[in-house]
Amino acid sequence: MGGIIIGALYPSEYYSAAGELMLYALLFIIGISVGFNTETLKKAVHVLDRRMLLLPAFSIAGAMLGGALAGLIFGLPLKISLAIAAGMGWYSLAGPMLSVVSPIYGSIAFLGNIGRELLTFLTVPLKKTGPMESIAMGGATAMDTTMPVITESTGREYVLACLYNGMILSSLVPLLIGMMLSLP
Amino acid sequence: MLLIFLSFGAGIAAGLILKRKRDSLKEERALLISVVAMIFFMGASIGSDPNIKEYAASIGLSSLLFAIFMGLGSAGGAYVLRRLMPR
């Protein structure tokens, strides 16, 4: 919240680059702590079981269902609701892709997917959800921005699961949004 | 995506090399500082978007509801998977 307020008061284009730089520094530090402890590395490989391999599919299905329900409440067309949900937290892609259809839908996709990321930041540290639920909630961002929060809350052995889930979802998001938008 | 894997891979390599000089307190401190700094700069970059106030005022509620339903939907999907395929 402090960051949002400072950003609104003193806007600058460098915040985004600084945030990205911090992300890479953070991934480097997480990498060091995983490398320090080879046991964590072994556990990380062990954690990638068949359930984790199926997690992206269930995560997408759940988000689509949630998106469809939210769209139903606001009377949005089903294909638009599904396309917004198909963003899976990747707001910088979902927003512009939906803006082609309508700037309003683009804005909802942008803010909705930012909100999803913020929701992950706020709820995962409470440790009320299991590792799989936490990774699923992070969606495509589980491999970058939300990964530190998820691994700190659930255990560093889940780092590979985060990367796997985020990578699969990130590669599917552009296809999924395109597919949903092309629905009749 | 390449930078993500490079940063993480370089970190693992550095961790394996520096294994004997491990200092968990410094490690935890560096992790905490970088998490807080990253979240701060992410927030600042969202806040400095000139359209964010306009967006938030006009479609804030629907976006908020979408965020909650999508996040909980994905977590629910993971819960269903956990129930269907117990370890």
Give B2-52 pLDDT, tens digit per residue: 777 777 788 888 877 776 666 666 777 777 777 777 777 777 777 777 766
| Closest residue in A to B21 (Cα–Cα) | A36
Better-predicted residue by pLDDT, B22 or A64: A64
Measured distance CA(B37)–CA(A92) in Å, rounded? 21
Predicted pLDDT of residue A31:
78
Nearest-Cα distance to chain B for A147, in Å, is: 10
CB pairs < 8 Å spanning A and B = 288
Contacts of residue A162 in chain B, CB cutoff 8 Å? none
- What pLDDT was estimated at residue A63? 95
Average pLDDT on A88-94 reads 85
From the list A27, A67, A132, which residue is nearest B78 (CB)?
Answer: A132
Interface of B with A in 20-59 (CB under 8 A): 22, 27, 30-31, 34-35, 37-53, 55-56, 58-59
| Average pLDDT of the segment spanning A41-54 | 80
pTM, entire model: 0.75
The whole-number pLDDT of residue A57 equals: 95
CB contact under 8 A, B70 and A67: yes
Q: Which of A6-10, A38-42, A95-99, A178-182 has the lowest mean pLDDT?
A: A38-42
Minimum mean pLDDT range among A24-28, A74-78, B22-26, B37-41: B22-26
Q: Are B74 and A61 in contact (CB under 8 A)?
A: no
Q: Rounded to an integer, what distance in angstroms lies between the CA atom of residue A13 and that of residue B49?
A: 9
Sequence-separated (6 or more) residues with CB below 8 Å from residue A18:
B41, B44
Mean pLDDT of A72-100: 88
Tell me what the mean pLDDT of segment A25-33 comes to.
78
Indicate if ipTM > 0.85. Answer: no
Cα within 13 Å of Cα(B15), Cβ side: 23
Q: Which range in A1-10, A72-81, B12-21, B59-68 is most confidently predicted, on average pLDDT?
A: A72-81
Say how far apart CA A21 and CA A11 lie, in whole Å: 18
CB count in 10 Å sphere of residue A183 = 11
Q: What is the mean pLDDT of residues A119-139?
A: 90
What mean pLDDT do residues A125-132 have?
86
**H/E stretch holding A21:** helix A14-36
Confidence at residue A83, expressed as pLDDT on a 0 to 100 scale: 94
Higher per-residue pLDDT: B11 or A116: A116
Task: Give the nearest chain B residue to A38 (CA atoms).
Answer: B16
Q: Which of A88, A77, A96, A136 shows the shortest CA–CA distance to A113?
A: A88
